[in-house]
Structure 1
Amino acid sequence: MFLKSIRFTLTLWYSVTLALILIVFSSFLYVTLRNQLYQEVDRDLLAVAEAIASPTFEPFYRTAPAEMDQLLEDFIGVRSAGKYVRILDRRGEPRAATSNLDNISLPLDRRALTAAAANRISYATHRDGDLYPVRIISYPLLVRGQLDTVVQVGSSLVGPTEILNKILLIFTISIPLSLFLLMYGGWFLAGRALKPVDLITRSARRITAENLSQRLDVVNPRDEIGRLAETFNTTLARLENSFNRTRRFSADVSHELRTPLTILRGEIEVGLKWAKEPEEFRELMQSNLEEVHRMSGIIESLLELSRAEEKGLSLNLQEVDLRELLNDLIQQLRTMADEKGIHLEFAGALPVLVQGDRVRLHQVFLNLLGNALKYTESGGQVRLFLETENGYAKVGVSDTGQGIPADDISCIFDRFYRVDKARNRAHGGSGLGLSLVKSYTEAHGGRIEVASEVGKGSTFTVYLPIADGLPAGDSGEVDKPRGRH
């Protein structure tokens, strides 16, 4: 578990990355410094070799070693110190050499001899036993285009070697130490960086279905982890809202179904105990049937709402003339309006075609008109109007009823929500009508808006996209819905 932690992984990658950087940098620095030191030695060797190869020095090519030492001191000066000189003929046989060559050799291999025959200067590094390596230059002298003499000058690399060894020692100590310090610092910094993650983890473990109101701690909302925590908090808020709606929905369903079941049970018990005549049993069965219809309606409405929410609502789309559909509704509800003494009117002169499911659109406007008639007192007015606006059919239902309080407007489309529960139950409502209206309208690509004032009435406005090819009455291009409520 420890080896799979993010903290360990980050520290490991820090260390591996720095190790690679240090190794590459150190290698580059070592090679560059080594080449620079060797170039300085080569320049010094070339200067000595050119001096020895000069015509002034030529008569002394066959002197004894002691004389050669003195000649070098006289001609070259202190630069001859630490230098090994050997003069060879064209076959590589020695002619003269310095006395210090007794303890060291200056080999002339075939490669150097071949280069000299081609009038090329060659360099080589020779290591003799445990001694420091020697840098050697082989300098050719040609007579009439033919190799005549080879001047070899060697110089001990003790200085450059010691410098390079010290550099290697520094690298050997500093690189592991740097890696150790980095691992410690990386472990510490990774812990600091991941501390908000630990806080989020501890907070998330405390959150259950029973306390969804808790939120994750946000240490710094401007960094990536802070934004992640805020995203989790937003998700938790949605989950809390969903859980609350589910609980409320379950409670409402239980309540709505318990009432008709209680009535059924009571009436059946009373009928079994007291009913004697066939007419009494008929009344009992009629009452039971009404309650069964009520429960069936609730269940069917819930199924329709679930299908709409899951995008599984099947619509039988066809061209629907809203003016014709609304005219039919007005005729159906005229009798109810006359019985309550309510003035019912319809304003819509031009045909307006929409692409929709006629049955469900009928149910949308039937629910809206039915609610308007239910909650409008005798002597009031219910007005239905049909217009077009920005490529949408606009159907409004306004009444002069009791109105809806401002605090309740945002909730009236929720399932089983009632502004006045006693009044709704008295009118036989289940609290699902407006939920279905909203779901059906949105399934058609439309939206519904509501405006209301307590004591003055309400206006519900449905916007539906107009079908392509509408003749008269369209006042603009088709726009997307401006929002859903």
Structure 2
Amino acid sequence: MFFFRSIRFRLTLWYLVTLALILLLFSTFIYLTISKRLYAEVDRELLAIAEAVASPTLEPFRRSAPTVLDQILEDFIGPSVANKFVQIADASGKVFSSSTNLQNISLPLDKTSLIISGIGNSTYHTHSNSLRYPIRSITMPIMENGRMVQVVQVGMLLDYTSDILEKLLVIFAVSIPLALIMLWYAGWFLAGRALKPVELITTSARKISAENLGHRLEIINPSDEIGRLAKTFNITLDRLENAFNRTRQFSMDVSHELRTPLTILRGETEVGLRWGGDADELKKILRSNMEEINRMSDIIGDLLELSRAEEGKLVLDPVPVELHELLQDICTKAAPDAREKRIILDLPNAASLHVAGDPARLQQIFLNLIDNAIKYTPCDGKVSLAVDSEPGWAKVSVTDTGPGIPEADLPHIFEQFYRVDKARNRNDGGSGLGLSMVRAFSEAHGGRVEIFSLPGSGCTFTVFLPLSHH
């Protein structure tokens, strides 16, 4: 069953059917063309004989004995008269003279032919008889003073024409099946050659598994359809491998992020259960547990928000938002953390720019960036905010005087749970999802986020948001 459903079989079958139709049409065309030419040659010869018999010079001999007509035929067309017949009738259709070879057969003369002859026109007919081959005949009127006086009929046995056409049919009947058999094998071979790269792709694809996603298909000819298919498949494998790697890394990061608070919860709970203690000590343990529970809840909540944003299902409530005013509110919230490290939080006055956005999500974007900048800026440093615009876009930049980000880390800076300083632990704050949320929420607003950093010279995050026509 698979054999008949295979592409190779179907290609060969369609190839064979197409060629069979072409051969059939071509053979039919050849047969009809040759048949037409042979009949045209017969008709020309019949017309020449009829005109010779109907000529005025032979008028005295047309009522002669059949042998005389035979002699006339032989005189005009040579000795090959055995397959040619002459018959002469009067205006009423009554035959009064014929060649000797018409003794056992006759040339039919119907009323239609007589009527047509009566107006001076000739007609041709092909009719069967007691002989093996049909007879082709012409019926020609002999006119005197515009009136038909006699009718000449000349017939020819179609032995030569029929033999040629029969042989042609035999040739077609034998050669076409043989040609189709050879074409089947040729088509099968060519289809196999054409589909060989597909077999190689299938063999290579079977070797690919979740543990072997680095394997790629060999591209023999990148310019043909199979090569483009293999190239597209390799691109898909690259995306799949990246997705698998991100999923593995995500699972590891989530496990690591949740293991720490769970370990703390378990340890403190075990201490409380084992050693008891006074009420103040138990309250301290419960407060610590509550902090860890809140931390896990924040991580899970952030993950859900990121998931919705990446799937395009993040619910936004866009309203006109004035950016400078929004940043002032955020700076007010971030000021205590900045004062704790004696960091200058600078927000110069700027032109009023409005964007259509969800205030809560926009606040998360900029609060994450400012919080990140304060966190990585050393004491007595500076975090600068700037609001600017370019055609169609509002730009908000957050620049710090921290250590900067190494070039090798820049492509990964927006990945979930990615940390530039691997030595920093989770107790330093943050879930590792802040910058991922910045990018996701910016894109959800139709914007983007860019980063510029030189190691040792701080870094600048710039958020681009579409300007509102407010």
Instruction: Please give the TM-score of this superposition, normalised by the length of structure 1.
Output: 0.92
- Asked if the contact 2:257–2:426 (Cα under 8 Å) also holds between the matched residues in 1, the reply is no
Task: Call closer, same or farther: CA 1:138–1:411 in 2, change over 3 Å.
Answer: same
- Map of 1:152 onto structure 2: 153
The answer to whether structure 1 residue 137 and structure 2 residue 138 are counterparts is yes
- Map of 1:474 onto structure 2: none
- Map of 1:123 onto structure 2: 124
Tell me the alpha carbon deviations over residues 356-407 of structure 1, each in whole angstroms, 9 at most, x when there is no partner. 1112212211111111111111222211111122232211111111111111
Report the Cα offset of residue 455 of structure 1: 1.5
Structure 2: how far apart are the matches of 1:130 and 1:7?
Answer: 53
The answer to whether structure 1 residue 204 and structure 2 residue 202 are counterparts is no
After alignment, is 78-87 or 48-57 more displaced?
A: 78-87
Amino acid at match of 1:369: I
Report the Cα offset of residue 437 of structure 1: 1.2
SS at match of 2:347: strand
The answer to whether structure 1 residue 228 and structure 2 residue 229 are counterparts is yes
- Asked if the contact 2:453–2:460 (Cα under 8 Å) also holds between the matched residues in 1, the reply is yes
Task: Call closer, same or farther: CA 1:74–1:448 in 2, change over 3 Å.
Answer: closer
SS at match of 1:230: helix
1:184-333 correspondence to structure 2 within 5 Å = 184-333=185-334
The answer to whether structure 1 residue 181 and structure 2 residue 182 are counterparts is yes
Tell me the alpha carbon deviations over residues 151-205 of structure 1, each in whole angstroms, 9 at most, x when there is no partner. 1112222222222122112111111111111111111111111222222222222
- Asked if the contact 1:92–1:150 (Cα under 8 Å) also holds between the matched residues in 2, the reply is yes
Structure 1: how far apart are the matches of 2:435 and 2:361?
Answer: 13
- Asked if the contact 1:416–1:430 (Cα under 8 Å) also holds between the matched residues in 2, the reply is yes
Report the Cα offset of residue 117 of structure 1: 2.6
The answer to whether structure 1 residue 100 and structure 2 residue 107 are counterparts is no
Structure 1: how far apart are the matches of 2:408 and 2:51?
Answer: 105
- Map of 1:91 onto structure 2: 92
Task: Call closer, same or farther: CA 1:67–1:431 in 2, change over 3 Å.
Answer: same
Task: Call closer, same or farther: CA 1:54–1:307 in 2, change over 3 Å.
Answer: same
- Asked if the contact 1:88–1:151 (Cα under 8 Å) also holds between the matched residues in 2, the reply is yes
After alignment, is 66-75 or 147-156 more displaced?
A: 66-75
1:75-86 correspondence to structure 2 within 5 Å = 77=78, 82-86=83-87
Tell me the alpha carbon deviations over residues 76-111 of structure 1, each in whole angstroms, 9 at most, x when there is no partner. 555756432122222333322222223543222333
- Asked if the contact 1:51–1:76 (Cα under 8 Å) also holds between the matched residues in 2, the reply is no
1:338-357 correspondence to structure 2 within 5 Å = 338-357=339-358
Structure 2: how far apart are the matches of 1:49 and 1:197?
Answer: 71
Amino acid at match of 2:437: L
After alignment, is 127-136 or 33-42 more displaced?
A: 127-136
- Map of 1:367 onto structure 2: 368
Tell me the alpha carbon deviations over residues 44-90 of structure 1, each in whole angstroms, 9 at most, x when there is no partner. 11111111111110011221222332344345555756432122222
Report the Cα offset of residue 250 of structure 1: 0.9
- Asked if the contact 1:398–1:457 (Cα under 8 Å) also holds between the matched residues in 2, the reply is yes
SS at match of 2:96: strand
The answer to whether structure 1 residue 11 and structure 2 residue 12 are counterparts is yes
SS at match of 2:89: strand
After alignment, is 24-33 or 244-253 more displaced?
A: 24-33
Task: Call closer, same or farther: CA 1:131–1:392 in 2, change over 3 Å.
Answer: closer
The answer to whether structure 1 residue 396 and structure 2 residue 404 are counterparts is no
SS at match of 2:232: helix
SS at match of 1:422: coil
- Asked if the contact 1:348–1:387 (Cα under 8 Å) also holds between the matched residues in 2, the reply is no
- Map of 1:483 onto structure 2: none
The answer to whether structure 1 residue 337 and structure 2 residue 338 are counterparts is yes
Amino acid at match of 2:91: R
Structure 2: how far apart are the matches of 1:333 and 1:76?
Answer: 123
- Asked if the contact 2:382–2:401 (Cα under 8 Å) also holds between the matched residues in 1, the reply is yes
- Map of 1:46 onto structure 2: 47
Amino acid at match of 2:308: R
Task: Call closer, same or farther: CA 1:295–1:76 in 2, change over 3 Å.
Answer: closer
- Asked if the contact 1:85–1:153 (Cα under 8 Å) also holds between the matched residues in 2, the reply is yes
- Asked if the contact 2:123–2:138 (Cα under 8 Å) also holds between the matched residues in 1, the reply is yes
Q: Could you tell me the percent identity over the aligned residues? A: 57
Tell me the alpha carbon deviations over residues 219-259 of structure 1, each in whole angstroms, 9 at most, x when there is no partner. 32211122112111111211111111111111111111011
Task: Call closer, same or farther: CA 1:442–1:348 in 2, change over 3 Å.
Answer: farther
Tell me the alpha carbon deviations over residues 283-316 of structure 1, each in whole angstroms, 9 at most, x when there is no partner. 1112111111111111111111111111111122
Structure 1: how far apart are the matches of 2:466 and 2:107?
Answer: 101
- Asked if the contact 2:136–2:158 (Cα under 8 Å) also holds between the matched residues in 1, the reply is yes
Task: Call closer, same or farther: CA 1:444–1:424 in 2, change over 3 Å.
Answer: farther
- Map of 1:453 onto structure 2: 454
Instruction: Please give the TM-score of this superposition, normalised by the length of structure 2.
Output: 0.95
Task: Call closer, same or farther: CA 1:226–1:343 in 2, change over 3 Å.
Answer: same
Structure 2: how far apart are the matches of 1:138 and 1:349?
Answer: 110
The answer to whether structure 1 residue 436 and structure 2 residue 437 are counterparts is yes
Report the Cα offset of residue 468 of structure 1: 0.6
Amino acid at match of 1:407: A
Structure 2: how far apart are the matches of 1:127 and 1:285?
Answer: 117
Tell me the alpha carbon deviations over residues 27-48 of structure 1, each in whole angstroms, 9 at most, x when there is no partner. 1211121111111111111111
SS at match of 2:88: strand
- Asked if the contact 2:82–2:101 (Cα under 8 Å) also holds between the matched residues in 1, the reply is no
- Map of 1:166 onto structure 2: 167
Task: Call closer, same or farther: CA 1:123–1:349 in 2, change over 3 Å.
Answer: closer
Structure 2: how far apart are the matches of 1:291 and 1:84?
Answer: 120
SS at match of 1:401: coil
Amino acid at match of 1:320: V
Structure 1: how far apart are the matches of 2:255 and 2:156?
Answer: 104
- Asked if the contact 1:316–1:356 (Cα under 8 Å) also holds between the matched residues in 2, the reply is yes
- Asked if the contact 1:418–1:424 (Cα under 8 Å) also holds between the matched residues in 2, the reply is no
- Map of 1:25 onto structure 2: 26
Structure 2: how far apart are the matches of 1:68 and 1:361?
Answer: 117
Structure 2: how far apart are the matches of 1:130 and 1:424?
Answer: 112
Report the Cα offset of residue 426 of structure 1: 4.4
Q: Over aligned residues, Cα RMSD in angstroms?
A: 1.9
Structure 1: how far apart are the matches of 2:462 and 2:52?
Answer: 109
Amino acid at match of 2:156: S
Residue segments in structure 2 that go unaligned for 5+ positions in a row: none
Residue segments in structure 1 that go unaligned for 5+ positions in a row: 470-485
Structure 2: how far apart are the matches of 1:24 and 1:214?
Answer: 51
